[in-house]
Structure 1
Amino acid sequence: MAEGLLIVGEDVCADVVSSKDAFDAVEAVFGAMARGDAYNFPVIREAIGYADALYGFKSGFDRAGKTLGVKSGGYWPGNMDKGLTNHQSTIFLFDPDTGMLQALVGGNYLTAVRTAASSSVSIAHLARPDAKVLGMVGAGHQSTFQLRAAAEQRNFEKVVAWNPHPEMLPRLAEVAEGLGLDFDAVSPEELGAEADVIITITSAFEPLLMKDWIKPGTHIACMGTDTKGKQELDPALLAAATVFTDEIAQSVSIGEAQHAIAAGLIAEADITPIGAVINGTHPGRRDAQEITLFDGTGVGLQDLAVASVAAQKAEQAGKATRAAL
């Protein structure tokens, strides 16, 4: 490899990493985690007491992919008013053989595309093959990525959506229509009654979907809960579902499962890493009536996997820059 630090900017990441690239990278790293070939380090995520921001670090090592690094960043809720995305992050990749810094990669686009890839992996492996209606709860920056990635996994015909701020829904409607899908803005109850697959991608701290609203056979990808206290679903819904996750330790501590665990409705042993389904050691969905649920907490290894792809593809395309550190 050439000398110097490889720098891959946000625009380059968006140019070289497709949703398919992200899907393949995330699916592979989930499989590696389940085999014990990759592991995440403990997450640091704190309210900094300024600008209402949450800031932290996610890191890990993928022995199979030879990827070592850390994502630093967080959530600044006032950024939208400044013309910026609320999630801001940067990914640092290190040489696992020497510890030297190899690459500095913009993390904003990659965070959105890897989060969408995570839910899309869960849809590919857990949703009913005949799923026709996609339900979207949330209409923020990441929701459009989620919608596009989900549409690649099933032959959806319609999108139903709800957002606490309905004025944000036209952006989702535009994406759905661009994909040739019908779009309806509905209530949460109507969404649960219609949707075969539901993606929740909000920053809520209270349940938005109740157990009794969800029909048998639904697959739910809960993607917004990644901090202690956050919540998108009725805890009783997790008790009624077969629960899968990216990483059990995060699911029970900062993921959606934290509330059902605290209420004694489920146990840690009731949660299965989705990597086990990917690797074929767990059957996944067992029948058409089963409610499956993916608790997508977001692990550092996802970020490192897509950042590694971005670095490789940017260098191959001659779109990255190098600098002495």
Structure 2
Amino acid sequence: MFIVPEREIADLMTRKAAFDAVESVFAAMASQDAYNFPVIREAIGHEDALYGFKGGFDKAGMTLGLKAGGYWPNNLEKQNVINHQSTIFLFDPDTGKVAAIVGGNLLTALRTAAASSVSIKHLARQDAKVIGMIGAGHQATFQLRAALEQRSFSKVIGWNYHPDMLPNLEKVATEAGLPFEAVELDQLGHDADVIISITSAFAPSLMSDHVSEGTHIACMGTDTKGKQEVESALLARATVFTDEVAQSVSIGEAQHAVSEGLLKESDVNQIGAVINGTHPGRSSDTEITLFDGTGVGLQDLAVASAVVELAVQKGVAIEVDF
């Protein structure tokens, strides 16, 4: 069995490698060559933490395993460690023996950013110039860096529940040579050609009447029953895509629109179908497209498998007799 510690991940996994792994696994899911297991995600009644398991099996990539972890909201202020904590376990699909244990914190950030980046590549207008960010925490910086590689953006605008965190976004924009402006939500929705929402909110911030025609929105924070980042009416206006339909309508952003009768499960499309060419994706420059990124176990397994292979090649994987 191999162990790849968290400390090694930054030198092994690039944004491009994460993007390629996530795009491939989305395509495999749409082709029914890979499937996710039901998600377990619960409040544990301690430290306001959410903890759970995501797993699956990719027959195309022969990757089997799970990610265990969750969200500890008090970590930064109490222990100076990030709020999201996770570990990925890979198993040999032929024997069931454990194959690898991989640090999952940075990989989770990279694979989540890769998912919204994949949606921008396949669904945003080609002439998109302004990107709007809702949320300015640790994950938002990964989202923005990945997104900026998908279009020739000329400006970044942002809003956050805590405005004092907006310099996190400004720093990334400056690194990319782009101007940054802090704006109110109505202006963000009006001006942005692409919007990424990455918060842990349980009430919507972005409203339908904020958003202009032709916008692509990636909702990346809703992964638990009750969470919500955008108004349900916005999903009713949009053509909705997701990583996993079952998760989208149960724990993703679509859960609210479905429960309110504004959207049917059959209205939600897999992003993998666009990648595979079996769904046309965006049909016009005025269409609003929305990607409901719920986060699937197969994303974690894909990036972890790639990391293990690289770690073995570079001699930094720790081999143990388990």
In structure 1, what is the Cα distance between the partners aligned to 2:174 and 2:293?
26
In structure 1, what is the Cα distance between the partners aligned to 2:9 and 2:60?
23
Aligned equivalent of 1:115, options 101, 112, 115: 112
Corresponding residue for residue 63 of structure 1: 59
Q: Segments of 4+ in structure 1 off by > 6 A?
A: none
In structure 2, what is the Cα distance between the partners aligned to 1:46 and 1:61?
22
In structure 2, what is the Cα distance between the partners aligned to 1:149 and 1:9?
24
Aligned equivalent of 1:48, options 44, 50, 53: 44
Q: Secondary structure at the match of 2:11?
A: helix
Q: Secondary structure at the match of 2:96?
A: coil
In structure 1, what is the Cα distance between the partners aligned to 2:10 and 2:201?
28
Q: Secondary structure at the match of 2:303?
A: helix
Q: Secondary structure at the match of 1:315?
A: helix
1:27-76 Cα deviation digits (max 9, x unpaired):
00000000000000010111111111110100000000000001000000
In structure 1, what is the Cα distance between the partners aligned to 2:248 and 2:178?
32
- 1:1-325 to 2 correspondences below 5 Å: 5-81=1-77, 82-325=79-322
TM-score, L = length of structure 2: 0.99
How many residue pairs match? The answer is 321
Letter in structure 1 aligned against 2:50: L
In structure 1, what is the Cα distance between the partners aligned to 2:5 and 2:313?
15
Q: Secondary structure at the match of 1:217?
A: coil
Q: Secondary structure at the match of 1:220?
A: strand
1:117-142 Cα deviation digits (max 9, x unpaired):
00000000000000000000001110
TM-score, L = length of structure 1: 0.98
Q: Secondary structure at the match of 1:193?
A: helix
In structure 2, what is the Cα distance between the partners aligned to 1:179 and 1:191?
20
Q: CA deviation at 1:13?
A: 1.2
Gap regions ≥5 residues in structure 1? none
Q: Secondary structure at the match of 1:285?
A: coil
In structure 1, what is the Cα distance between the partners aligned to 2:134 and 2:56?
30
1:65-96 Cα deviation digits (max 9, x unpaired):
00000100000000111211100000000000
Q: CA deviation at 1:11?
A: 2.1
1:107-163 Cα deviation digits (max 9, x unpaired):
000000000000000000000000000000001110000000000100001000000
Q: CA deviation at 1:310?
A: 0.6
Letter in structure 2 aligned against 1:188: L
Q: CA deviation at 1:14?
A: 1.3
1:160-184 Cα deviation digits (max 9, x unpaired):
0000000111111011100111100
In structure 2, what is the Cα distance between the partners aligned to 1:323 and 1:168?
42
| Percent of matched pairs sharing the same residue | 69
Q: Secondary structure at the match of 1:115?
A: helix
In structure 1, what is the Cα distance between the partners aligned to 2:314 and 2:169?
32
Letter in structure 2 aligned against 1:95: D
RMSD: 0.5
